[in-house]
């Protein structure tokens, strides 16, 4: 009787429902990260270009997404903007869009920081052998910046995965949302069900995030060996 709450996890389809929720969280994170990182690299490169107007616009974009809390952004894109502009995206699409824009903003700063810390003489050497602007970025600056970007990027990835727990506010059936459904459905019968459900969710998030950290460590080591 002492640990009866664990029964909640395996009653009916509860376990597979939680995994289904985890898949939604993972899917949204992956799509947002792929789009966001690609866009972020582009924006980051543009931010090192010496054009005051472009720089100001990109800076404002970054500050907007960095300062405004993700919850507010989600509400803004899901409830407020559709009301005003008559566009209606479903909740998952909104989640992917908001997260991708957020990742792109944060990523642009990571990329910019990495690019400007590539030694100046590398750039000059590249120009000296006749590379043009895009070629300079493609062959000289970005490859050397990647190693510098990895720790912060992985950190951003795990943050995005963890932030998917906010998505229940805009009706996305993510793993936390389904966990709460299960807890409340069993509150009468198993008052300690919450402990087991949140325990399992903790493990699931860990399983999602830990491989990323391990991967980051390997990439960093490889980078160091190459250097």
**Residue 185 contacts other proteins per CB under 8 A:** yes
The angle at the Cα of 204, spanning 38 to 98, to the nearest 5 degrees, equals: 35
**Residue 169 contacts other proteins per CB under 8 A:** yes
Nearest to 160 by CA among 212, 195, 116: 212
Nearer of residues 55 and 162 to other proteins, judged by Cβ:
55
Residues 6+ apart with CB under 8 A from 155: none
Which of 158, 180, 213, 223 forms a contact with other proteins (CB under 8 A)? Answer: 180
**Residue 182 contacts other proteins per CB under 8 A:** yes
**With contact defined as beta carbons under 8 Å apart, do 106 and 66 qualify?**
yes
**Residue 171 contacts other proteins per CB under 8 A:** yes
How far apart CA 227 and CA 224 sit, in angstroms, is 5
| Ordered alpha helix ranges (H), the chain | 7-10, 14-47, 52-67, 70-75, 81-85, 91-116, 120-128, 133-135, 142-163, 175-185, 193-226
**Residue 86 contacts other proteins per CB under 8 A:** yes
Which of 2, 3, 53, 84 forms a contact with other proteins (CB under 8 A)? Answer: 84
**Residue 222 contacts other proteins per CB under 8 A:** no
Which of 34, 80, 203, 214 forms a contact with other proteins (CB under 8 A)? Answer: 80
32-61: which residues touch other proteins (CB under 8 A)?
56, 59-60
Nearer of residues 160 and 170 to other proteins, judged by Cβ:
170
**Euclidean distance between the first and final Cα of the chain, in Å?**
59
Nearer of residues 158 and 181 to other proteins, judged by Cβ:
181
**With contact defined as beta carbons under 8 Å apart, do 5 and 193 qualify?**
yes
Residues lying near other proteins in the complex (CB under 8 A)? 11-14, 17, 56, 59-60, 63-64, 75, 78-80, 82-86, 88, 168-171, 173, 177-178, 180-185, 187-188
């Amino acid at each position: 009787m002492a640990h009866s709450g664990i029964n909640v996890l395996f009653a009916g389809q509860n376990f597979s429902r939680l995994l289904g929720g985890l898949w939604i969280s993972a899917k949204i994170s992956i799509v947002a990260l792929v789009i966001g990182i690609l866009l972020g690299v582009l924006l980051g490169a543009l931010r090192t270009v010496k054009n005051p107007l472009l720089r100001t616009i990109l800076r404002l974009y970054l500050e907007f997404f960095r300062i405004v809390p993700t919850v507010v952004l989600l509400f803004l894109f899901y409830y407020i903007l559709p009301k005003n502009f008559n566009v209606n995206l479903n909740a998952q699409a909104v989640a992917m869009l908001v997260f991708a824009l957020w990742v792109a903003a944060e990523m642009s700063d990571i990329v910019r920081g990495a690019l400007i810390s590539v030694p100046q003489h590398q750039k000059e050497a590249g120009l000296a052998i006749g590379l043009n602007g895009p070629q300079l970025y493609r062959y000289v600056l970005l490859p050397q910046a990647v190693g510098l970007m990895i720790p912060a990027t992985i950190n951003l990835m795990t943050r995005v995965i963890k932030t998917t727990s906010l998505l229940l506010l805009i009706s996305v059936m993510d793993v936390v949302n389904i966990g709460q459904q299960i807890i409340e459905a069993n509150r009468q019968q198993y008052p300690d069900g919450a402990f087991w459900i949140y325990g399992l969710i903790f493990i699931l998030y860990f399983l999602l995030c830990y491989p990323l950290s391990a991967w980051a460590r390997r990439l960093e080591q490889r980078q160091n060996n190459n250097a």
